[in-house]
């Protein structure tokens, strides 16, 4: 159980990091959900290893969403149509 949760945390981190570059609105929430699921599984199993990766996935996923919102506001305010 702990091994699959660690892999889930890594998958969430990868989604979140790639989300910084592209597809923020899609990959950010995926990274958050995977990180949250992995962290709760690791906490239930009493395993500390991998929890920091899960938290990083959630934080970077949140940053993805904030970046998308900033980009959206910037695009709407300047009239750019970069979608």
User: pLDDT by residue (tens digit) across 23-59?
Assistant: 889 999 999 999 999 999 999 999 999 999 999 999 9
Domain boundaries, position 66: 2-78
User: 6 lies in a domain?
Assistant: yes
3-state DSSP percent of the chain in helix, strand and coil, to 5: 85, 0, 15
Q: For residues 61 and 29, is the Cβ–Cβ distance under 8 A?
A: yes
What is the mean predicted confidence (pLDDT) over 65-83? 83
pLDDT at 82: 55
pLDDT at 77: 86
User: 83 lies in a domain?
Assistant: no
Q: For residues 43 and 54, is the Cβ–Cβ distance under 8 A?
A: no
> Quick check: 83 pLDDT over 60?
no
Q: For residues 73 and 31, is the Cβ–Cβ distance under 8 A?
A: no
Quote the number of domains for the chain: 1
For 46, counting Cβ atoms within 10 Å of its Cβ (0-12 exposed, 13-18 middle, 19+ buried), the class is: exposed
């Amino acid at each position: 159980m702990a091994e699959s949760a660690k892999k889930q945390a890594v998958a969430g981190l990868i989604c979140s990091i790639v989300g910084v570059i592209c597809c923020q609105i899609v990959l950010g929430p995926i990274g958050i959900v995977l990180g949250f699921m992995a962290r709760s599984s690791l906490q239930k199993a009493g395993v500390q290893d991998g929890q920091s990766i899960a938290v990083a996935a959630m934080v970077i996923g949140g940053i993805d969403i904030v970046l998308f919102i900033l980009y959206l506001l910037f695009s709407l305010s300047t009239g750019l149509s970069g979608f």
